[in-house]
Homo-oligomer: A and B are copies of this chain.
């Protein structure tokens, strides 16, 4: 399990999400309160949009709480759209390539959750990644596969549908070859314009996911856990919900992988 926080709105310093709030992402890396693993010390990452269509990416394998570079970067860099993540490995190696967010072209993606028994069918999941996206398969996580499958499924044209198909594919692999729970998912993604988030579970336990509009910042925060513990206005995204945030509105849609017809072959 991991913790993450994302932002869309008027440009703010990265540290205004990552390290300054009372229950900031860095604070959650030390003492998370809404997940099984209290310590998220197996690496971190931030993807931020600024001057380029593609995001900047800073990821490393140290605990977020002690990294001087992260502290300095988050203190200096302003962005109106960024994703940040702290990791608690559930098995795959501590490596920069396994740190979130993942980026490809102008898309970025980060994830908290699990695909049941992934390690036992990782080879089969890798085979589902098409040749043209395989150069982006740099690590060994289920999260990176999920992202690459969503890219393959047409995330540019239809983010919701592509995520549903990617989740359906991995959930199906887990049902065939893995273990329960087949899919637990709390994820955020962006194309550099909008910020999307999804919360879903194949059973009845979905990882936490909250969002909130800040009048003072003129921006949206989307997070694993509220950034201030006594703060009003945090809404929980319902399980089976897909959130689309633009500058001026939040829209919650139904997220239901089961309605998608997927090709069970790989690559399909």
What residues of chain A have their CB less than 8 Å away from a CB belonging to chain B? 13, 30, 39, 41-42, 48, 50-52, 55-63, 66-69, 72-73, 75-78, 89, 93-97, 119, 122-124, 126-127, 129, 131, 134-135, 137-138, 140
Known contacts A50-B78, A123-B126, A137-B140; 10 further A-B pairs (Cβ under 8 A): A50-B76, A52-B75, A57-B68, A57-B69, A60-B69, A62-B62, A67-B94, A97-B97, A122-B134, A124-B131
- Distance in angstroms from A142 CB to nearest chain B CB is 14
- Asked if A94 meets B66 with Cβ closer than 8 Å, knowing A13-B51, A57-B72, the reply is yes
- Distance in angstroms from A266 CB to nearest chain B CB is 10
Choice from B42, B76, B124, B138 contacting A66 with Cβ under 8 Å = B42
By CB atoms of chain B within 10 A, which of A13, A48, A51, A66 has the most? A66
- Contact residues in B for A122 (Cβ distance below 8 Å): 134-135
CB pair A129 B137 closer than 8 Å: no
- Contact residues in B for A51 (Cβ distance below 8 Å): 13, 76, 78
Choice from B61, B62, B93 contacting A94 with Cβ under 8 Å = B62
- Contact residues in B for A124 (Cβ distance below 8 Å): 131
